[in-house]
Amino acid sequence: MLLVLHLLQEKLCLTLKKLERVLVKGFEHRGFSFFDIMSNCHINLGRKNKMASAMENLQWIDSITTPLSKYEKLSEEEQLNMFPTGVLKHDTKVREYCDMYEDIKAAHQGKRAKITQDDFEKKI
């Protein structure tokens, strides 16, 4: 199972609540979860990009980010200039590694039939 999350922390109060919900969702997910959480540093990022104020920096970040649902509706050309946020991938079809390993152990201990290619979704 795979869960990839990407959030950009730009509006502190609302984003922290959203961040908490997404983190809980990721930790409850069986399998692999990847969190890519970025927080703006308006002092460092703003200075390096010649932005005079923190508000100018936040407005720029707002202009280049969009929720994944809106991002997917954009044309390929428009997507080049935007940064999607939210849950980018949530795969529930693939079996979790530890569950598959338990099957392998059971097969070697004689507690289940021999493992064949039919036990795996992706054939080798």
Q: Would you state the structure tokens that stand for residue 110, as one six-digit string?
A: 């004689």
Q: Is the pLDDT of residue 62 over 90?
A: no
Q: Would you state the structure tokens that stand for residue 47, as one six-digit string?
A: 């200075």
Contacts of residue 123, defined as CB under 8 A and 6 or more positions apart, other chains included, come to 117
Q: Is the pLDDT of residue 7 over 60?
A: no
The C-alpha torsion from 13 through 14 and 16 to 18, rounded to 10°, is 170
**Which residue blocks in the chain are alpha helix, DSSP H?**
12-28, 44-48, 54-64, 68-71, 76-79, 97-108
CA angle 63, 64, 65 (to 5 degrees): 100
Q: Is the pLDDT of residue 13 over 50?
A: no
Q: Is the pLDDT of residue 103 over 70?
A: yes
Q: Would you state the structure tokens that stand for residue 77, as one six-digit string?
A: 């050309």
pLDDT, tens digit, 9 for 90 and up, residues 19-47:
788 888 888 887 778 887 766 676 677 77
**Percent of the chain at pLDDT exceeding 70:** 81
pTM: 0.58
Average pLDDT (94-110) is 86
Query: Which pLDDT score, from 0 to 100, does residue 3 have?
Result: 47
